[in-house]
Amino acid sequence: MSDTTSPWHLARRAARMNPSVIREILKVTEKPGIISFAGGLPSAKTFPVAEFEAACAKVLKDDAPGALQYAASEGFGPLREQVAAQLQSQAAAAGQSWQVNPAQVLITTGSQQGLDLVAKVLIDAGSKILVESPTYLGAVSAFIPMEPEVLGVASDDEGLDLADLRAKAQDARFFYVLPNFQNPTGRTLSENRRVALSQLAAELNLPLLEDNPYGDLWFDAPPHAPLTARNPDGCIYLGSFSKVLAPGLRLGFLVAPKVVYPKLLQAKQAADLHSPGFNQRMIAEVMKDGFLDRHVPTIRALYKAQRDAMLAALAQHFPDALSQPGQSLTWNRPAGGMFLWARLPQGMSAVDLLPFALAKGVAFVPGAPFYADHGDERTLRLSFVTPSVEEIQRGVAALAAAIKARQPA
């Protein structure tokens, strides 16, 4: 019941803001004894604590006043140069030329802020925007306050359905896409689809918003060249330091065309003036001398072992997955990233299953909230990077017990 005497009148957009489903589930997983496959948290084992300790001391020794003072809204110059060089190098390794100008790199307070800035600059009330189906829930949360019409584009194991995209693209402000080890599905956009998507977007004059927080976390082979490298003037690229260094520093970046960059910068200035300069200098110091080239492979090795442990446990507890897909839990095999996407037997709902799974001691994220429309109630997201191998084995056993107890006869 609302308080009619309150002097506070919320903006219309506030009514469209809802709690994060994932954040609410994480509160439950903090209870003792719960094995969590729910959170999208990087493993704390990967944080380079010693390197940050040394970088902190050096930054304060070399230029404490500069590190602790207000700074440029665009970001710390050397860090922007490092980002540009790294992106160029990665694109070249994938066989694509991409001349990244540091002047078009904007350091953000996490890549989540990049999504917020894009929403403020590109979306009007009633604007149509396109997202993958399913898509990253945090992106939709960033877009929704600007009151757009959000349409989901169908996808399969290779990525998005180009025919569905063409059918929905008219008058869309942009298409938001995660081509590498997508959150929530772990899927990767194939090279053929990337080529076709770039050509279709150019034909339709449809801007692409390319989000790539997981691209460095490949297991056996690096991903294909970024979409932005193929058409820099038609794309905005978002990246993050959270998955390869530390999420608590809250630093990410975007690369934007010259026609859009000034407005994104102005939105950044209005939001927080600049991202923490001390944190930026620390990351720039840690990244010197090719540290990421040595560090990221250790993350990949850990996450691949974790993925393999979950795949093995799933195969053990759901032996009929291939022969009876409608009667058993089924799942994919991500080639990188942090997530695995699964689907319950016919007649089951992941939302309904969750409390019974929690009672068995395991948590997951139901998949339906990741859809802009018509969510698949049988889907769920499993994160494999934070539990130990032993916890993965026990957690999958608990999930199997919960499914068996709730499965229709």
Write out the residue range of the structural domain in which residue 22 sits.
Answer: 13-47+293-406
Query: Of the candidates 258, 291, 324, which is a domain's last residue?
Result: 291
Residues 160 and 297 in one domain: no
Determine, yes or no, domain membership for 164: yes
> Is residue 111 located within the same domain as residue 214?
yes
The better pLDDT of the pair 242, 321 is held by: 242
Compute φ and ψ for 326, nearest 5 degrees: -75, -15
Q: What's the mean pLDDT in 195-208?
A: 97
Q: What is the pLDDT of residues 367-397, one digit of tens each?
A: 999 999 888 999 999 999 999 999 999 999 9
- Separation between Cα atoms, residue 25 and residue 405, nearest integer Å: 22
Let me know if residue 384 belongs to a domain: yes
Q: Give yes or no: residues 335 and 371 share one domain.
A: yes
For residues 128 and 262, membership in a common domain is answered with: yes
pLDDT digits (tens, 9 = 90+) for 4-58: 678 998 888 887 777 766 666 667 666 778 999 998 899 999 999 999 999 999 9
CATH, residue 182: 3.40.640.10
Residues 278 and 336 in one domain: no
- Using the 3D structure, point to which of 291, 311, 341 is the last residue of a domain: 291
Neighbouring residues of 31: CB distance < 8 A, sequence distance ≥ 6: none
The pair of structure tokens assigned to 331 is: 């799942």
What pLDDT shows up at residue 1?
46
Question: How do residues 114-142 score in pLDDT, each as one tens digit?
Answer: 999 999 999 999 999 999 999 999 999 99
220 Cβ neighbours under 8 A, 6+ residues apart: 304, 335
How many distinct structural domains can be found in the chain? 2
Pairing state between β 252-255 and 235-240: antiparallel
Cβ atoms 212, 114 nearer than 8 A = no
> For 91, phi and psi rounded to 5 degrees?
-65, -40
In tens, the pLDDT along 167-179 reads 999 999 999 999 9
Q: Counting Cβ atoms within 10 Å, is residue 88 exposed (0-12), middle (13-18) or buried (19+)?
A: middle
CATH number of domain containing 302: 3.90.1150.10
Co-location of 284 and 321 in the same domain: no
Is the pLDDT score of 365 beyond 60?
yes
pLDDT of residue 49: 98
Say whether both 319 and 395 belong to one domain: yes
Q: Is the dihedral of CA 135, 175, 270, 274 positive or negative?
A: positive
pLDDT single digits (tens) 206-240? 999 999 999 999 999 999 999 999 999 999 999 99
Q: Based on the fold, state whether residues 140 and 211 are members of the same structural domain.
A: yes
Tell whether 284 and 305 lie within a shared domain: no
| 304 within some domain | yes
Is 140 among the domain residues?
yes
Token couple for 59: 């930054």
- Whole-number pLDDT of residue 335: 98
Cβ count near 384 (within 10 Å): 27
Do 282 and 167 share a structural domain? Answer: yes
CB of 304 within 8 A of CB of 314?
A: no
**pLDDT confidence of residue 4:** 65
Parallel, antiparallel or unpaired: strands 208-211 and 235-240? parallel
Give domain status of residue 319, yes or no.
yes
Q: Which of 267, 291, 315 is the last residue of a domain?
A: 291
**d(Cα 38, Cα 247) in Å, to the nearest integer?**
17
Instruction: Answer whether residue 5 is part of any domain.
Output: no
On whether the CB atoms of residues 138 and 170 are closer than 8 A, the answer is no
2 within some domain: no
Half-sphere exposure of 406 (CA within 13 A, CB side): 24
* Strand, helix or coil for residue 153: strand
Domain assignment of residue 329, yes or no: yes
30: exposed, middle or buried (Cβ count in 10 Å: 0-12, 13-18, 19+): exposed
Angle (CA) 164-203-263 rounded to 5° is: 95
Whether residue 198 is found in the same domain as residue 267: yes
